[in-house]
Amino acid sequence: MDDRYDFVLVGAGSAGCVLANRLSENPKVRVLLCEAGPPDRARQIHIPAALTTLFRSDVDWAYFTEPQEQLADRRVFWPRGKTLGGSSSINAMVWARGMRADYDEWAALAGPDWAYDAVLPYFRRAEDTRGRRSAHTGRGGPITVSGQRSPRSLTEAYLAAAEQAGLSRNVVPNADDQDGVMPTMVTQRRGRRWSAADGYLRPARRRDNLAVLCGATVSRVVIEHARAVGVEYLTDGHRTVVRAEREVILAGGAINSPQLLMLSGIGPVAQLRGHGLPLVYDAADVGRNLRDHVVAGFIVDAPGGGTLDEAGSIRQLAAYLLLRRGMLTSNVMEACGFIRSRPSLAAPDLELLFAPAGMVGEGLRPPRPHAVTLGAILLRPRSTGCITLRSANHADPPIIDPGYLRDPDGADYAALAEGLRMCMRIAEQPALAGLLGDIVQPTGDDGPDPVDSAIRHYAQTLYHPVGTCRMGSDADSVVDPHLRVRGVQALRVVDASVMPQIIRGHTHAPTVMLAERAADLLRREHRLGV
């Protein structure tokens, strides 16, 4: 294996796979992609409904937060992908870009090149949208985006009930206007998960100028004279240093990228010195600005059937293997919707979800049989948290404190509670009469108010941490609008950690968009015409 490349990429997730493909399109450019986890060969990765079986497996970093005061001092489980494709190989496959207002806010924070109209071509470049499309969705791109292959009948009943509760069903997914409910669009091809590794990395691995190294945990960026010149990584206990002639690019996500910057001497000076790390650049905002989507919901009995209870049966396995149809094609979150907690809001601040399965125990326990989940997601949290080092040892997971519902005026709690009240209204509509029964989680033992109990005792992450290496036009931002790390040359971050504000959607799609745009920036700056 060579010890010198033009570009060294750290992390083979949504962004890393895109960059590996786009940069290696030029046959003269040598690219190394380092991934800490194993290849994406596990069968469960590719079977959509098996996603929770991947939690706490060898393809999951399996993080836990610090105790969250507003959530009854619980530690919240944060699964993150640790394999080719990263979290796109273990997520719920929802392709929801966010809204015009999100990217126009990015433009205000990080320059006009991040406005909605400027980033729209990069979404379209990435997408191969099947089924119902808007004028703005893409065709022919690496990521297949399709409708549900075999949705449950209960999902249609939920959508009808939501309409009866006053919500629109006349919504085209990923169009400009997202107010209302819809079946979720998913990253699947013929009922099989279609990850960033499937769409971007696998076709590129045929190229001689791209090397992909699995089981390689990067422990630090090698910096000489304020310039990133390579990385140090470990494989099977052996340390190796590989050089980057042009740039090192971190694509480890909102937890691992700030941790690696700090381990490399880039971060808050007091924290680095407290762990005995040499200071390269005092970047106070590394690890700060952490935002995440918190979700709370109700588990409701479904005596009328129509759930995913039989997904593991031989009959359903045969339907999947032979026809790529049936329950195993479900992404579990089969319907979603965007609503406003207050009519005066300029854009939705809540997302609704429906799963024809009783999802309990943060996905770490088997679903409750004969039950469904109705949930609400806080899309625009005011509360922020941080990632800090636990120690100077790269093998120690960082300290994760998302600060859920910690805003001083209680607006986050109030909005999430309003979303749960909408869930209850939907469950009471005629379209679900006879299909749903009683709420079985939370129980009366959790407290007298089911809305409060659902939040305090059962709220969890929707797996969308962002912002810990935020980009901006201001001098305090971690990366500039071209995603270059301030204070160090030849070092860039390209992943969800650079998002200056969380989006009203799911983070896989915007992360792919970020990487597509970063690839263009790199090609222009390094004159890499293909």
Catalytic positions? 464
CB 352 within 8 A of CB 425: no
3-state secondary structure of 46: helix
Which 8-state DSSP code applies to residue 76? P
Enter the DSSP assignment of 441: E
CA 23 to chain centre: 23
Structure tokens given for 498:
């650079």
Cα-Cα end-to-end distance for the chain: 25
Give Dmax over CA atoms of the chain in angstroms.
Answer: 70
Assign residue 15 a region (left: φ > 0; alpha: ψ between -120 and 50; beta: otherwise): alpha
Q: Which residue(s) pair with 234 in the sheet?
A: 217, 239
**Which 8-state DSSP code applies to residue 420?**
H
- Structure-token match 């990923």, residue found: 174
DSSP assignment string, 12-65: -SHHHHHHHHHHTTSTT--EEEEESS--S--HHHHSGGGGGGGTTSTTB--EEP
DSSP symbol at 48: G
CA angle at 170 for the pair 168 and 175, rounded to the nearest 5°: 110
How many CA atoms within 13 Å lie on the side-chain side of 282? 3
Beta bridge partners of 217: 234
